[in-house]
Amino acid sequence: MGHTNWLNEEEMNAWIAFISAATLVDRELDQQLKEDMGLSHLQYQILMTLNRAEAGAMRMTELAERIINSKSGLTYQIGQMEKAGLVTRRQCEWSKSGVLAEITAEGRATLERAAPGHVEAVREILIDVLTPEERKAVADGLGRVRDRIAERKQGGTCW
């Protein structure tokens, strides 16, 4: 067993601030979307990601990786969203085992109605609290964290 490199006070403060802020931001955004649109934050992310995808469709495996969710969790969410008419599923033309998730016209309309309130909440909760320098530092630092984890996962199942 090796030596543990314990966090010093400054490092511990950064870690605790990150965990609590990340949890609270996600919770606040989830609540705002549920109250305004009846969507979870994850469902909003799915709609946003599909809307930005080529032809509004994406292979389920790639979608799960993009939104950082498990395949089974995504399958459940897509099933719920399919019942609501927001997305459809269809077989991949180029792969018998692949399934595509595709945003519907109703999904696009829902996203369009949800976006203004969601962006307002993101601004209020996070963006407007930080100075431009702090936003850049957060984006740079957390981008490196994301990239380091993604590099470690290359070659295997990402999420």
What span, in angstroms and rounded, lies between the C-alpha atoms of 67 and 26? 14
Average pLDDT, stretch 138-147?
94
Q: What structural domains does the chain harbor?
A: 21-125 (1.10.10.10)
68-122 per-position pLDDT tens digit: 888 899 999 999 999 999 999 998 776 666 899 999 999 999 999 999 999 999 9
Contact between 98 and 59 under an 8 Å Cβ cutoff? The reply is yes
pTM of the predicted structure, to 2 decimals: 0.85
Of the listed ranges 5-9, 57-61, 75-79, 147-151, the least confidently predicted one is: 147-151
Three-state secondary structure along 77-114? HHHHHHHCCCEEEEECCCCCCCEEEEECHHHHHHHHHH
